[in-house]
């Protein structure tokens, strides 16, 4: 399986396994500078994403997250034809994945997936993609080169029916993380109180 550089110069990350199914689609080229955020590096874009989260840990609306999920993970797990992005990388942490092209590395804040009680990178209200895929704030439509067979993954997503996009499985938690943390603390306090009373 061919390995692609992640763009951050970190050999340890570049040697990690790339999650890629058999190649049925052409590649959309890396176009860091060709975006609405022209002139801003991917790391700077990520810093903007962090700010967009805000103190209330607000999340992007579900349809955008479904498009981002398709762009990164494809839909083979949901019975579709679209394989994962060739830049998707397995984290050293079991079950987590991160983008190998954005240069932000493998850490909790860069994981693309998470449980509904977690805040994954795909939840950020503002988020850019190194290949400007659908659902990201720097999205740019596929070029005519990508319409030729085999079409690119980007072109495939662009021509999907909305009803198929809405079927995409995502973990969306509409309750802000800060509220969840507060609820968990209350639950923990109640448990401690109950345990104290039963010990008495
Ligand atoms: S953010 Fe873009 S380049 Fe990175 S894994 Fe997702 S679709 Fe691929």
Q: To test ligand 1's pocket by mutation, which of 131, 136, 154, 170 has the most ligand atoms within 8 angstroms of CB? A: 131
Distance CA 8, CA 13 (A): 9
Task: Provide the token pair at 178.
Answer: 């800060």
Report how far ligand 1's centroid is from the alpha carbon of 69 (Å): 9
Q: What is the mean pLDDT of residues 94-98?
A: 89
Which residue has the CA at smallest separation from atom 2 of ligand 1? 129
121 CB less than 6 Å from ligand 1? no
- The pLDDT confidence band at residue 179, using thresholds 50, 70 and 90, is low
Burial level of 189, CB count in 10 A (0-12/13-18/19+)?
A: exposed
List the domain boundaries for the chain.
11-173
pLDDT of residue 70: 94
User: What digits encode the pLDDT tens for the residues 113-155?
Assistant: 988 788 899 999 999 999 999 999 999 999 999 999 999 999 9
Considering the entire predicted model, what is its pTM? 0.72
Report how far ligand 1's centroid is from the alpha carbon of 189 (Å): 41
Distance CA 108, CA 174 (A): 20
Report how far ligand 1's centroid is from the alpha carbon of 20 (Å): 12
130 CB less than 6 Å from ligand 1? yes
Is-contact 130 99, C-beta < 8 A? yes
């Amino acid at each position: 399986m061919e390995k692609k550089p992640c763009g951050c110069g970190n050999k340890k990350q570049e040697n990690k396994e790339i999650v890629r199914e058999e190649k049925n689609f052409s590649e959309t080229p890396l176009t860091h500078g060709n975006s609405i955020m022209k002139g801003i590096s991917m790391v700077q874009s990520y810093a903007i994403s962090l700010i967009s989260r805000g103190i209330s840990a607000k999340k992007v609306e579900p349809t955008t997250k479904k498009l981002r999920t398709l762009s990164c993970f494809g839909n083979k797990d949901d019975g579709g034809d679209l394989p994962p992005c060739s830049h998707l990388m397995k984290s050293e942490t079991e079950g987590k994945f991160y983008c190998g092209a954005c240069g932000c590395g493998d850490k909790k804040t860069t994981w693309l997936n998470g449980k509904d009680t977690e805040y994954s990178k795909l939840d950020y209200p503002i988020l850019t993609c190194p290949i400007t895929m659908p659902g990201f704030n720097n999205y740019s439509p596929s070029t005519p080169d990508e319409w030729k067979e085999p079409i690119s993954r980007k072109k495939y997503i662009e021509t999907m029916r909305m009803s198929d996009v809405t079927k995409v499985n995502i973990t969306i938690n509409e309750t802000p993380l800060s509220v969840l943390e507060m609820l968990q603390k209350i639950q923990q306090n109640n448990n401690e109180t109950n345990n104290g009373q039963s010990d008495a």
